[in-house]
Structure 1
């Protein structure tokens, strides 16, 4: 009987086992479902778009199965995976590895949103009608509690769920005309999932600076605060690099837009020759819109000097333009300058972009240095620490390095092959773009930062002198007024800017009582003394809280 009781005590019902399993990894199931839903929504969006274009096409080349294969291949291309086209005229498979960067925004956003929502554990109610995101109420302020699911659990679940749907999609796309490359697919799709899901979890936890500081552990100790501040906000060099990259990309997009307007007739002719019917032209315009970020990166590479390649051995740069003579008509390619040597207009337009980017980056660095010298408390002020010229120059140089790294990465993503032979290289060369960015930013940003810092450092001295002069004038006036008011002519008192306290002093001249007079003006009448004899020193009341500030003026008898 004792053995039966012992066995019964050790047994646990299945419900308790499920509860223990759920408690060990809370939210893992919701994270898996969220990642799978994110992958499914991305595939569905591409499938709907491709099927819509296939239905409206007047001459469809394949059936619905072929359209779905193309949709799966485009979804993989959006992640950066390289595709292989098998139905070529020569019978040799041709690679297609130029991903439209705008297509990457949809999978990245879906992954970010899924990972951020996975940290809430499905927003289960705790029995009181409120989600678990609100921890307590202190007075009138609602204090949000930490996420219910750990960062590792949410991140792992979303990544595994996303890859669980991506694997069948890769196998399905392998049976179409555009087959994914196994090596590129095995690297790019998990990389996008890991980075985007990590960013979503990091955002859900309030963007703490600890993970970034661990990633920046390879940098020297004196460089880390310039990239990331102790409170987790970007440092001076990071903000300056963001400004420089923004100006470079914006300038590159502006160059492409101006060239397209100048070659508007050629772009229209290319659109009309490429396809017939409104559905085909709509598809071409959608492809052009998806390639706009690529065009901005190509324009920035053109402005920096290295330019970009339109085929192996055919480089387009401000110095010379040599595009492939047998390129298919495409509206964006109409913006390419004519073949031949570059003119002074190309040099001026291209050279202005990196110069403006260097000036913007140097100005941001100098502003951080000036705030530090003035001891400001604004973000980037350095807590009042004095920024020497050497530290300012190092921050500007680090800004150039960060800009070069970002532009090199974007150049690597914005290019790729479109076939074999001559079409094996399209886009800028990443290491050339990185080297040119480093040279331009270092030559422009460092002198700009030092010049702006030196100019601002002289301003506080002049401001301090002017403020001292302004304070000196009212002090002298107040001193003279006090001397005259305490002199031999009390009736003609000179009033100064003493606020309510001065008004109370004037009231004391007319309403002060005698030595024994408790009622103000009744004292002289009862004692029979003359008004001159009953004149007493004015008693000033303490200033009111809203009285304006009056500088202290020492009297003559205060001086030893």
Structure 2
């Protein structure tokens, strides 16, 4: 018997009613009309973030020194206690932060700049992570930007790092190797405050804001001077590498004379790597002109060389024994070549963005690049100076003021010449086109 339309509809509705339904998830309503996905992130307490990040930075930079000390004494037949290895590692860590050590041979203050760079990088990252944890960047999202969150993050890193440096100085004790706790506190505070604040303001976009408000001439001069200084240091590193390579036999003999085994030799090579930036700064001072000293009896420059007793260090095997002769004086042109390259890069970058840029701001940036490079090289040379004991090794490194003064004029002249020539060449090229 055929069904009517009404009966067909009733059967369909019954079947739909018996079918299992799918429960839709309850949609969470926004609070006060706000999107829950845009709720502010939960922030960590400033003290906790600073302690965790600073402690991690200290451990990462301390570990290489402890490993090197363990390698140097790994072949000792009597065995070196773990406490002694850790104590010597802490001493090297303090020295990397320019904290002088009082030893049986006198004061030692020459910092291994390779390890210093590792420590500076980790403190910078501590500032970045601390600022991120407290939401320093979020303060300029929809609201006026404030520098105080980043400043507090950098200050907190400096305070915690000062406490770590003080504890390390106390941990040394007074058994023939000690450091001033006050000096350690002040030095670590300055180190942590500088690196932590730089990282915090970089994370909070404070450095970008400052650069955006700085006159273009100053920005170009700073960038060009930094490029010139890095190129001079790169030339110093290349010169050091070539000198050590040419004296590879003497360097290998020095390593063999220690009779430390494979592990000890690896440790010596790593120690040389830690001090390689120091020797790079010395080579840069040699190329610039003033030269450097290693104690009271050794002075090295292109015009005058006097060599006295030297520490048995493989890196020093490549020191010249005579003034520059033959093709060696050509190396003295490397700083000027670095200035020419920096000036060329300045002109290319500036004229690419603004082909009709006037002469005055362009040449002003080129002239100011010299003082910027001179100050940077002077700071690097000052960081690479110190003492390796009392007596004849009390003064080691270049004369920072003389290097900066000579580099100032050399790089200013080179950048001015290169910038002028590049602008004239580009103008002539456009005229031909």
Range into which the TM-score falls when normalised by the shorter chain: 0.7 to 0.9
Match of residue 328 from structure 1: 311
**Partner Cα separation in structure 1 for residue 164 and residue 339 of structure 2:** 45
**Does 1:269 find its partner at 2:240?**
no
1:53-452 matches, cutoff 5 A:
53=71, 56-59=74-77, 63-85=81-103, 87-88=104-105, 94-121=106-133, 150-181=149-180, 184-211=183-210, 224-227=215-218, 235-324=219-308, 326-338=309-321, 340-349=322-331, 351-371=332-352, 374-375=355-356, 386-388=357-359, 390-452=360-422
**Partner Cα separation in structure 1 for residue 369 and residue 423 of structure 2:** 16
Cα deviation, residue 122, structure 1: 7.0
Q: Secondary structure at the match of 1:99?
A: coil
Contact 1:54 1:67 in 2 (8 A): no
Cα deviation, residue 102, structure 1: 0.8
Q: Secondary structure at the match of 1:247?
A: helix
**Partner Cα separation in structure 1 for residue 56 and residue 161 of structure 2:** 7
Deviation per CA, 1:257-282: give whole Å up to 9, x if none: 11112111111111111343122211
CA shift in 2, pair 1:157/1:432, >3 Å: same
Cα deviation, residue 121, structure 1: 3.0
Deviation per CA, 1:393-450: give whole Å up to 9, x if none: 3221100110000000000001211112211111111011101211211232212211
The runs of 5 or more residues in structure 2 that have no matched partner are 1-42
Cα deviation, residue 161, structure 1: 2.2
Corresponding residue pairs, total: 389
**Partner Cα separation in structure 2 for residue 26 and residue 63 of structure 1:** 39
Cα deviation, residue 211, structure 1: 4.9
Q: Secondary structure at the match of 1:348?
A: helix
Contact 2:72 2:267 in 1 (8 A): no
Q: Secondary structure at the match of 2:327?
A: helix
Q: Secondary structure at the match of 2:107?
A: strand
Cα deviation, residue 163, structure 1: 2.2
**Partner Cα separation in structure 1 for residue 260 and residue 424 of structure 2:** 62
Match of residue 33 from structure 2: none
Q: Secondary structure at the match of 2:311?
A: coil
Match of residue 424 from structure 2: 454
Q: TM-score, normalized by length of structure 1?
A: 0.63
CA shift in 2, pair 1:312/1:200, >3 Å: same
Cα deviation, residue 157, structure 1: 2.4
**Partner Cα separation in structure 2 for residue 408 and residue 457 of structure 1:** 36
Cα deviation, residue 56, structure 1: 1.5
Contact 1:43 1:71 in 2 (8 A): no
Deviation per CA, 1:122-152: give whole Å up to 9, x if none: 79xxxxxxxx97999xxxxxx9x999x9223
Runs of 4+ in structure 1 deviating by more than 6 angstroms, as ranges, are: 132-136
Contact 2:131 2:203 in 1 (8 A): yes
CA shift in 2, pair 1:31/1:272, >3 Å: same
**Partner Cα separation in structure 2 for residue 50 and residue 367 of structure 1:** 45
Contact 2:221 2:365 in 1 (8 A): yes
The root-mean-square deviation of aligned C-alpha atoms, in Å, is: 3.1
Q: Secondary structure at the match of 2:260?
A: coil
Cα deviation, residue 62, structure 1: 5.6
Q: Secondary structure at the match of 2:76?
A: coil
**Partner Cα separation in structure 2 for residue 209 and residue 323 of structure 1:** 48
CA shift in 2, pair 1:461/1:104, >3 Å: same
**Partner Cα separation in structure 2 for residue 106 and residue 323 of structure 1:** 32
Q: Secondary structure at the match of 1:175?
A: coil
**Partner Cα separation in structure 1 for residue 378 and residue 431 of structure 2:** 43
